[in-house]
Amino acid sequence: MNKSELVKTISEEADISQAAAERALNSMVEAVTKAVTKGDRVTLVGFGTFYSSKRAARVGKNPRTGEKIKIASATVPKFSAGAAFKATVNKKKAK
């Protein structure tokens, strides 16, 4: 499912226009992005948690040349699925 399909589904399920659904989706994504960028956790009970995590600096290998390269540390976004979301996905796969 891509963004336009998600917007269409939201508009149908919430009985709102597609323009309103897109504004709501964009607003939600922006709010989550800002919060995680600040280091906050965004928890949607039953769905999951968005958060940031530090990745340490490390030494990698250039696959083309085999040369060792330094990879800088980074802060990366992460998502942890909630129990209800996991359970729903597992039930659908079990059928």
pLDDT digits 0-9 by tens, 17-50 = 999 999 999 999 999 999 999 999 999 999 999 9
In a shared domain, residues 31 and 56: no
In a shared domain, residues 62 and 72: yes
Q: Is the predicted pLDDT of residue 83 greater than 90, yes or no?
A: yes
In a shared domain, residues 12 and 55: no
In a shared domain, residues 51 and 94: yes
Fill in the amino acid letter for 77. P
In 3D space, the residue among 39, 40, 52, 55 whose CA is nearest the CA of residue 79 turns out to be 52
In a shared domain, residues 58 and 90: yes
In a shared domain, residues 20 and 49: no
In a shared domain, residues 74 and 46: yes
CATH of the domain at 78: 4.10.520.10
Does pTM top 0.85 for this prediction? no
DSSP per position, 32-82: HHHHHHTT--EEETTTEEEEEEEE--EEEE-TTT--EEEE--EEEEEEEE-
